[in-house]
């Protein structure tokens, strides 16, 4: 199976000729009535996909008297006199794939609710063909469950990517926007294939140079990028600096209630839309980790967000305001301040105060993208405010694209969590898609894991996370396995050995990573700054609010109402009680919610200390097994990918051992308790 890892899941190698027979008959003629650019790109993609397997199809603007494939919007379809019962069933970005009769022949129709729907429909048929699905199984009506499916890029204009583990930025170089946009076009294709419809191209930490992206100096270049994305149904957004009026506007204040400031932003909006008529809007990190914001002026987040929202409103733009706001200058001895409480404390009182084109972007966990965190209680608490879910695809705390960590299971846990906000069944996925509270906007956002590396993602298997993000944002009901299987087939073909090796590997990779890193939901324990590798006390005596409170007697953060920080009260019942009570708190979150002695018995019957030892030994063994299983695939995976993955498994195994030994030694020294099985723990 030879194809370049650059092509990701768009390799277009057929895995099952027989399955393809069902489709073949329609591919002689492609009927397209529209001259729309998105539809043209869709047709180009289909031709590209088919080019290696059938004779080149003829593109017609009329119906031939033979079987054919028809590609167009519902309006195009009706104009053809064809009948299909799709009204009200098709959302604007949805699509339908079906076979209809026209005179004496059959028309395989890809019908979109809009041009974007057409594009997604074409990618659906391509995905079906190349993952070995029969035509019958491919027929469907499919709508996105989330209207906004956005990627955030933490790219700086000097070309570096904050928390990027896959090379340099594909958008920026040397403090400018790149000249050659061909890689961005390939990226747009990849994103369209997983139905991503928005990109924020610059880092939420907006530094001096990036502050100028909203000026005449750079907007023409931003417009060039936006134009490429537009052809694939993707809107461009920018992260902005809240202090821009002062830093580049010559004003003496950025106070959101100041008239001059309001006018300044209105002028900025009008200018941006003159360059980019379909500009998506602003992403804002304000009053967070030393970034400027409304607090400076005694204003709150709603004042700040609404001021910007008013400027964008006439053009249909939105303000995406992040809730990652917490005190990052705490005294570690102060046990009453709890960072986990911060988002709720800051934003819950403002529920109902935001304009309808403001969306709060909330990280899945209350701390910061750890390998295991409970859901942020803000989901379910904001009944009158739009919220987006923010996931981190880039693997900051989950192995930095050196370790394999398929994140879809983690994301699904978050989306499937029941908040009980409106009784049983109030799942997070319903909060974020807007249906639970009838919100105006809903969506899922991911912090991208790509850069200019040959495989886009550094670790070639980390492509599965980008793929999985898009699929899950489209439909959170897909299972982790379904997504993994689809990705493996599209990426590596349908060899059974490959499938039976890589799919289980992906599915257990998160658990393996968790085993040899920080135990029982406590998180952190990493080297400060870059966050790679074990350092148990790395963040223990710092100002960041990220502690485990381990001493010789016990470990964990008491977040109960009864004796701790009171964080559990931010959840609705019965969730609050479940976490509050140590007997019902799930073990994987034990140390997140409770401070316990090392002798505390888990539901498995093991003590906490023995669990720590066992999981750390087991995690390494399982990492070694993944590496060995991969080696068995030599010859079945293209060489380039095979080697790139193996190199990373080599690193993972070595570094997992370091984690194991550092963690085990730390707790052995703290507790003096020996491993029941007498395995090697360095003293
Ligand atoms: O996890 C932290 C990261 C920062 C990041 C911040 C955020 C972009 O370490 O690098 O800044 O979260 O989400 O704003």
557 CB neighbour count, 10 Å cutoff: 24
Mean pLDDT of 622-632: 98
Q: Which of 137, 208, 217, 289 is catalytic?
A: 289
The mean-pLDDT minimum among 224-233, 361-370, 488-497 falls in: 488-497
Q: What are the respective helix, strand and coil percentages of the chain, to the nearest 5?
A: 40, 15, 45
Q: Indicate if the pLDDT at residue 80 is higher than 90.
A: no
Q: Looking at the chain, how many residues does it have?
A: 683
> What does DSSP say about strands 29-32 and 68-73: parallel, antiparallel, or unpaired?
parallel
Q: Cα of 397 to ligand 1 centre, how many Å? A: 11
User: Strand, helix or coil at 445?
Assistant: strand
Of 170, 100, 92, nearest to 453 by C-alpha is 170
Judge contact between 115 and 2, C-beta under 8 A: no
Share of the chain above pLDDT 90, in %: 94
Q: Indicate if the pLDDT at residue 468 is higher than 90.
A: yes
Confidence at residue 85, expressed as pLDDT on a 0 to 100 scale = 84
pLDDT category at 588 given cuts 50, 70, 90 is: very high
Q: Catalytic: 368?
A: yes
Mean pLDDT of 231-242: 98
Looking from the CA of residue 390, the nearest atom of ligand 1 is: 13
Of 599, 594, 517, 511, nearest to 553 by C-alpha is 599
Q: Indicate if the pLDDT at residue 482 is higher than 80.
A: yes
Q: Cα of 70 to ligand 1 centre, how many Å? A: 46
Q: Cα of 120 to ligand 1 centre, how many Å? A: 32
Contact 544 CB / ligand 1 (< 6 Å):
no
Mean pLDDT of 303-315: 98
Looking from the CA of residue 369, the nearest atom of ligand 1 is: 1
Render pLDDT for 539-549 as a digit per residue (tens, 0 to 9): 999 999 999 99
Q: Cα of 289 to ligand 1 centre, how many Å? A: 8
Q: Indicate if the pLDDT at residue 422 is higher than 60.
A: yes
Contact 287 CB / ligand 1 (< 6 Å):
no
Q: Indicate if the pLDDT at residue 89 is higher than 50.
A: yes
CA distance 526 to 349: 33
Crossing angle of the two packed helices 115-130 and 37-50, in degrees rounded to 10 = 10
Confidence at residue 470, expressed as pLDDT on a 0 to 100 scale = 98
Confidence at residue 82, expressed as pLDDT on a 0 to 100 scale = 82
Contact 204 CB / ligand 1 (< 6 Å):
yes
Annotate 182-240 with DSSP letters as a single string.
HHHHHHHHHHHHTT--EEE-S-SS--HHHHGGGSTTTHHHHHHHHHHHHTTT-EEEEE-
Average pLDDT of the chain to the nearest whole number: 96
Q: Which of 396, 485, 486, 580 is catalytic?
A: 396
Mean pLDDT of 531-535: 98
Q: Indicate if the pLDDT at residue 16 is higher than 80.
A: no
Q: What is the pTM of this model?
A: 0.98
Judge contact between 397 and 543, C-beta under 8 A: no
* Residue in 163, 242, 287, 445 to alter for ligand 1 test, most ligand atoms within 8 A of Cβ: 163
* Residue in 152, 205, 285, 289 to alter for ligand 1 test, most ligand atoms within 8 A of Cβ: 289
User: Strand, helix or coil at 71?
Assistant: strand
CA distance 152 to 388: 12
Q: Catalytic: 413?
A: no
Confidence at residue 3, expressed as pLDDT on a 0 to 100 scale = 67
Render pLDDT for 34-47 as a digit per residue (tens, 0 to 9): 999 999 999 999 99
Q: Indicate if the pLDDT at residue 2 is higher than 70.
A: no
Q: Cα of 499 to ligand 1 centre, how many Å? A: 35
Q: What angle do CA 592, 593, 598 make, to 5 degrees?
A: 75
Cis, peptide link before residue 548, omega less than 30° from 0: no
Is the alpha carbon torsion for 233, 234, 236, 237 positive or negative? positive
Looking from the CA of residue 163, the nearest atom of ligand 1 is: 10
Q: Catalytic: 396?
A: yes
Label residue 293 exposed, middle or buried (CB < 10 Å: 0-12, 13-18, 19+). Answer: buried
């Amino acid at each position: 199976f030879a194809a370049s890892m650059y092509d990701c899941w768009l390799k277009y190698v057929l895995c099952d000729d027989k399955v393809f027979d069902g489709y073949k008959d329609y591919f002689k003629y492609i009927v397209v009535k529209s001259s729309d650019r998105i539809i043209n790109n869709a047709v180009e993609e289909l031709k590209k996909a088919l080019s290696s397997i059938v004779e080149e199809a003829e593109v017609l603007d009329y119906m031939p008297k033979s079987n054919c494939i028809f590609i167009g919007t519902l309006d195009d379809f009706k104009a053809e006199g064809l009948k299909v019962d799709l009204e009200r069933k098709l959302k604007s970005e949805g699509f339908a794939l079906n076979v209809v009769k026209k005179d004496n022949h059959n028309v395989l129709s890809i019908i979109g609710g809009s041009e974007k729907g057409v594009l997604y429909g074409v990618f659906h048929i391509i995905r079906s063909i190349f993952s070995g699905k029969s035509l019958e199984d491919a027929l469907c009506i499919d709508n996105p469950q989330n209207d906004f499916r956005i990627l955030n890029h933490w790219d700086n204009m000097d070309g570096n990517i904050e928390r990027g583990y896959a090379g340099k930025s594909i958008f920026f170089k040397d403090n400018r926007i790149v000249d050659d946009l061909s890689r961005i076009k390939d990226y747009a294709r990849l994103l369209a294939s997983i139905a991503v419809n928005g990109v924020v191209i610059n880092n939420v930490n907006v530094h001096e140079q990036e502050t100028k992206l909203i000026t005449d100096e750079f907007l023409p270049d931003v417009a060039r990028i936006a134009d490429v994305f537009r052809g694939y149904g993707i809107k461009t957004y920018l992260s902005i600096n809240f202090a821009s009026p002062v830093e580049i506007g010559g004003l003496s204040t950025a106070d959101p209630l100041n008239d001059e400031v309001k006018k300044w932003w209105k002028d900025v909006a009008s200018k941006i839309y003159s360059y980019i008529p379909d500009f998506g809007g602003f992403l804002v990190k304000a009053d967070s980790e030393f970034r400027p914001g409304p607090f400076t002026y005694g204003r709150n987040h709603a004042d700040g967000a609404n001021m910007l929202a008013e400027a964008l409103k006439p053009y249909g733009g939105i303000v995406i305001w992040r809730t990652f706001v917490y005190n990052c200058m705490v005294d570690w001895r102060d046990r009453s301040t709890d960072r986990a409480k911060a988002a709720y404390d800051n934003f819950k009182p403002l529920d109902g105060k935001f304009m309808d084109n403001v969306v709060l972007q909330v990280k899945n966990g209350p701390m910061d993208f750890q390998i295991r965190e409970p859901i942020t209680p803000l989901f379910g608490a904001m009944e009158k405010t739009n919220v987006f879910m923010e996931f981190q695809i880039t693997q900051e705390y989950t192995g930095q694209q050196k370790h394999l960590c398929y994140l879809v299971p983690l994301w699904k846990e978050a989306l499937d969590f029941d908040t009980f906000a409106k009784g049983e069944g109030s799942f997070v996925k319903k909060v974020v898609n807007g249906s639970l509270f009838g919100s105006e906007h809903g969506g899922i956002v991911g912090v991208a894991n790509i850069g200019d590396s040959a495989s886009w993602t550094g670790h070639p298997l980390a492509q599965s996370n980008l793929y999985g993000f898009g699929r899950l944002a489209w439909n959170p009901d897909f299972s982790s396995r379904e997504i993994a299987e689809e990705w493996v087939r599209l990426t590596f073909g349908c060899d059974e050995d490959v499938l039976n090796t890589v799919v289980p590997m992906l599915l257990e990779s998160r658990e393996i990573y968790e085993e040899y890193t920080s135990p029982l939901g406590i998180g952190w324990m990493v080297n400060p700054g870059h966050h790679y590798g074990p350092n148990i006390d790395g963040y223990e005596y710092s100002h960041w609010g990220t502690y485990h409170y381990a001493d010789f007697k016990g470990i964990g953060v008491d977040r109960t109402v009864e004796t701790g920080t009171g964080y559990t009260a931010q959840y609705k019942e019965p969730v609050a009680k479940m976490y509050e009570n140590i007997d019902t708190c799930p073990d994987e979150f034990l140390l997140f919610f409770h401070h316990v002695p090392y002798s505390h018995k888990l539901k498995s019957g093991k003590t906490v200390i023995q669990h720590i030892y066992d999981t750390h030994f087991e995690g390494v063994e399982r990492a070694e097994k993944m590496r060995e299983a991969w080696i068995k695939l030599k010859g079945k995976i293209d060489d380039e990918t095979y080697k790139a993955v193996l190199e990373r498994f080599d690193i993972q195994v070595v570094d997992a051992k370091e984690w194991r030994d550092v963690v085990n030694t730390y707790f052995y020294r703290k507790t003096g308790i020996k491993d029941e099985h007498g395995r090697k723990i360095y003293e």
